Homo-oligomer: A and B are copies of this chain.
Amino acid sequence: MLKISPRKPVDQQLERKDILDTARELFVSEGYRGVSMRLIASSLKVSHGAIYYHFKNKASLFYAIVTEGFLSLDKELENTMAMELNNETKLREVFIAYMKFGINYSNYYEIMFLIKDDELNTLIHQEPNQSYENFAKAVYQLCDPQKVNLQRIWSIFLSLHGFVTHYIKSGQSFDEIEGLVNSHADFLIKSLEL
């Protein structure tokens, strides 16, 4: 019979933050589906059941990580909006920043907007809408109200979404497709008839 010594001394106890840090690190390189609870546990040198004391399930664990993604995307938008540029150039930069975020943080983007997983999607239901609203407000602010309405902004968003979705699938780096990024941004700017 193997000796089981489950509860560890206080200074060795697994903390929620340790789990999150390890999961995040693995997630960034392997994606949601590429990271198993067992992989996280073995990286932490604990049994995989120990994770379930701290998190209800895999979706809950990764929900904490995905909210970081939404914060990052919002921060990118904020930073772009704070640039000293004329409206049209700034708008173009907003589009480019969105595409750049999606490609550079593809595993985040996937879990934020693409993955169909019942448990995960139950948890993530407000954040994508909020993220879109922030985007829409920014775009509306930079446009002439006579030239743009909500439907058009929504179409712009879907076009950006399509760009990111396609290139996440194809796996190319941002540097490889920068020309295409610029071209798509130009297409969308032109569609607004500014």
Binding site for B on A (CB under 8 A): 113-114, 116, 151-152, 154-155, 157-163, 165-166, 169, 180, 183-184, 187-188, 190-191
Contacts and interface: CB of A to CB of B under 8 A. Distances in A.
B169 A114 contact: yes
Given A160-B162, A161-B162, A155 B169 contact: no
Contacts of A188: 155
Given A116-B169, A169-B116, A191-B191, A183 B162 contact: no
Contacts of A165: 114, 161-162, 165
B187 A190 contact: no
6 nearest A-B pairs in the assembled complex, by CB-CB distance? A162-B162, A159-B159, A191-B191, A155-B187, A161-B162, A158-B162
A184 B155 contact: yes
A160 to B, nearest CB: 7
Contact of A183 (B151, B157, B191): B151
Contacts of A162: 157-163, 165
Contacts of A187: 151-152, 155, 191
